[in-house]
Structure 1
Amino acid sequence: MFADTHLAAFRRDGCAVIADFISAEQVVTLRQRIDELLRSFDPQNHPLTTFATGQSQRQQPDIHIGDQYFFDSADKTSFFLEEGAIDSSSGGRLTVEPHRAINKIGHGLHLTEPVFAKLTHSAPVKDIAHGLGFRDPRVLQSMVICKQPGIGGAVPWHQDSTFLYTQPLSACGFWLALEDCTLDNGCLEFIPGSHLTTPVTKRFVRKHDDSGTEMISIAPDAGEARGTGGGVPIEVAAGSLVLIDGQVLHRSSHNYSAKSRWIYTFHIVEGTAGYDQRNWLQMPAGAELTKL
C-alpha cells in the first residue's frame, strides 16, 4: 500500500493520502465500536472535561486543558466534550444528548480497545513506519475524534510536534477517515511543504507543579510563515489514511453541517529519540511508550 509516490509526497508536502487503506467492512466494525463507546458515556460518572483548541483558546492563550483526568488518559479510554456541548450559563449542563456531546475518545485506544489495537499494530501500519525510516516506532495518543454535527469545534493551525516533542523531532500522525471528510464537515487542511520551512518554536507542556499545562517558547517564532489562511483541503473518503509529518502546519474548520466527521488517529515517535518528562502525555510510572 505504501508506494514510492506516497513517500515522495510525504517528504515533499508533509502529508500523504493512502486511499482505501482499510475496507468498508473494517470501517463498519470500527464505527460500531465507537457508537457503543459514545452511548456508554454517562455524564453523571465522568468529569465534564472539554477539549479546548478553538477560538476560546486563542483569546486566552495561557489557559489550557490540564486536569488530572486529562493527564491520566495516556493508557485509558477517556471522554472529552465539545466546547459547544456545555452551557456554562447553566452550571455546565449539556446542550445535546450525551452521545452527541463527545469531541474525542482517547488517548490509549491502542491499549484498551481490541479493534483499535489490531488496526494500530497491523502489518500495513508497521510497513509504513519502517518505510518512513523509523527504527523503533512507538505508539501514543490514539483517539477517535468525532467532530460532532453543528458543534464540532475548529482546530487552529498547529504542528503535532509542539504537543509530542522529541529530540530530534520525530512525530508522525496516522489519521484514518471513518466517514467521508469534506470542507462542509471540517476536513483537514494543511500548508504543503511547511514542515521544511516552519520550525517548531513552542511546546505544550505540563506545568512544573502539574497544576495544568502551558505553552512555552523554545526558539524565536518564525510566525509569519505560519498560515492564517490558504490551506489546501484534504477531502477524503471513508477508509482513507492521511499521514501527517509532525512539523507540517495543519488545521480543521468548525463543523456547521448536519454530518459528523468521525476519524481514528494515533501518532508514532522514534523510540531512540528523547521524550522528556515535560511532555503533557506521560505513561504511568514503570510503563514505556508502546512498541509498534
Structure 2
Amino acid sequence: MAPEVSLGSRRDEFQDRGFLLLKGFVSKDECESMKKRMKELVDGWDPQLETPAAFTTDSKQQTEMQGKSDYFLDSADRIHFFIEKSTADKDGKLKADQKKFEALNKVGHGLHVLDPVFRDYSQSSKISELVEELGWKDPVLPQSMYIFKQPLVGGEVTSHQDSSFLYTTPRPTCLGLWLALDKATTENGCLWARPGSHKEPVRRVFVRNPEHFDNDNKNAPQLVFEALDEGKDPAWQWEGKMPEGHEPPSQGLMDSGFCPLECEAGDLVVIHGQVDHLSLANTSNKPRETFQLHLVEGPAEGITWSPRNWLQYPLDKKFPSLSKKRKAWPDVQVAISV
C-alpha cells in the first residue's frame, strides 16, 4: 500500500516513487458538485444525434476503434461521450435498451476549458501550487477526462504510461492528476502503480498514422502505436496487457511490482507520465467515478508538443496555462460542444 504523504515530503516522495497519494485534496462537497454537473451534462446529451465511440485501452482494439473514429480525434477541445464496448451495437451506437448514463466509459477531453464547474477546479490555486511544487515551470493543460468505471460493466485499463499518449520533445513531461470522486478500492477498480517505473523511458507512442494522413490511405487506421525501444532493453512485458493472476486477490499484480492505491472521495493521485499504472474491472455494485487532468511543460521551457500526438487543438488555439505568471484561459462556454 502506498504511504500517505505530508506536505513537506511530497516532492521527494514523487521523485522517488513516481506517484503520490494526497488525502483530502478536495472536499466531499466539491466531489458531489462535479458528479452533479456530470449528470446534468449526460442528461443533456442525445446519443441518437451522433455515434458515441466505444472506448477501450486494449492495444489492438485501440487502433481498431479509436483509430477509425473522427469523433475521438475531434474531442480534443470539445465535450464528447464515450461508451463501454459492451454497450454498443454492431454499428457502434448505444444499444436501444441501454440506459445512457450506465453505458458511459468516459467524457472528454475539453471539460477543463468548456465547462465552468470542471474549469474552476482545473484552474484553482491548489492545482497550480501543487504542480509548481513538483517542479513544472510552464505547465499547460491539454486534456481532461471524466472516467466512470461503471458498476458491473466498467472494464479494466491495462498497464500503460501516460506519456505514450501525450508525448513531448526533447523530453517527456506529462503529469497526471487523478481525482477520486468516489471511494476507490481493490473491489471497484482502484489504481495500481509500479513504484520507480518512471525512471524507465517511454516505450511507445500512440500517434496519427502517416499511412492514413500523409499517404491518404483511408483504409488504414487513423491512430497506431509506434515502438520507441526497438533494439534496446526488452520492453516492459505487461505493456498494454495484464500480468497473469491479476484477478482478485491480484497476486500477479503484486508479484509484478504493482501496489494498489486505494482512495477516499476527494483524494488525489499524482502520476508521473512514465509510471506504469492500471486498474482492474469494476465487478462490484459500487460506482468509481474520477476526474482526471493531464498536463505537460509548455514552450517557455523549450518543450514541443509532438505534432503526431492524437490530440491536437485547432491551429489558432493554445493549451490553457497553469502558470501563475501567465494564465491563458479562453472564454468559458457553458453549453455542451458536440
Counterpart check, 1:244 vs 2:262: no
Aligned-residue offset at 1:225: 6.1
Spell out, residue by residue over 1:97-132, the C-alpha distance to the aligned partner (whole angstroms, 9 max, x if none): 111111101100011110111101100110111111
1:107-186 equivalences in 2 (<5 Å): 107-167=109-169, 168-186=171-189
Of the two, which has the highest radius of gyration?
A: 2
Secondary structure of residue in 1 paired with 2:49? coil
Aligned-residue offset at 1:26: 0.9
* Partner residue of 2:234 out of 222, 235, 242: 222
Distance (Å, rounded) in 1 between the aligned partners of 2:88 and 2:237: 35
Aligned-residue offset at 1:91: 7.6
Spell out, residue by residue over 1:190-212, the C-alpha distance to the aligned partner (whole angstroms, 9 max, x if none): 1011111x321210001123451
| 2:11 alignment partner in structure 1 | 7
How many residues are treated as equivalent by the alignment? 288
| 2:204 alignment partner in structure 1 | 202
Counterpart check, 1:22 vs 2:26: yes
The change in CA–CA distance for 1:61 and 1:85 in structure 2 (over 3 A counts) is: closer
Secondary structure of residue in 2 paired with 1:255? coil
Spell out, residue by residue over 1:5-60, the C-alpha distance to the aligned partner (whole angstroms, 9 max, x if none): 22122111111011111111111111110111222222201213011214xx45x5
Structure 1: where are the runs of 5+ without partners? none
The change in CA–CA distance for 1:291 and 1:84 in structure 2 (over 3 A counts) is: same
1:253-292 equivalences in 2 (<5 Å): 253-271=280-298, 272=301, 273-292=303-322
Amino acid at match of 2:34: L
Spell out, residue by residue over 1:65-118, the C-alpha distance to the aligned partner (whole angstroms, 9 max, x if none): 131111111111110111121243998625531111111011000111101111
Identity %: 36
Distance (Å, rounded) in 2 between the aligned partners of 1:258 and 1:77: 27
The change in CA–CA distance for 1:285 and 1:61 in structure 2 (over 3 A counts) is: closer
Contact 1:106 1:144 in 2 (8 A): yes
The change in CA–CA distance for 1:152 and 1:95 in structure 2 (over 3 A counts) is: farther
| 1:191 alignment partner in structure 2 | 194
* Partner residue of 2:39 out of 35, 39, 43: 35
Distance (Å, rounded) in 1 between the aligned partners of 2:16 and 2:96: 44
Distance (Å, rounded) in 2 between the aligned partners of 1:95 and 1:250: 34
Aligned-residue offset at 1:277: 1.0
Distance (Å, rounded) in 2 between the aligned partners of 1:286 and 1:232: 42
Amino acid at match of 2:268: L
Distance (Å, rounded) in 2 between the aligned partners of 1:261 and 1:88: 27
Structure 2: where are the runs of 5+ without partners? 214-220, 244-252, 323-338
Secondary structure of residue in 2 paired with 1:73? coil
Contact 2:52 2:71 in 1 (8 A): no
Contact 2:229 2:235 in 1 (8 A): no
* Partner residue of 2:107 out of 105, 119, 143: 105
TM-score normalised over the length of structure 1 = 0.92
Distance (Å, rounded) in 1 between the aligned partners of 2:124 and 2:6: 13
Distance (Å, rounded) in 2 between the aligned partners of 1:234 and 1:250: 10
Secondary structure of residue in 2 paired with 1:75? coil
TM-score normalised over the length of structure 2 = 0.80
1:65-76 equivalences in 2 (<5 Å): 65-66=66-67, 67-76=69-78
After superposition, the CA RMSD in angstroms is 2.0
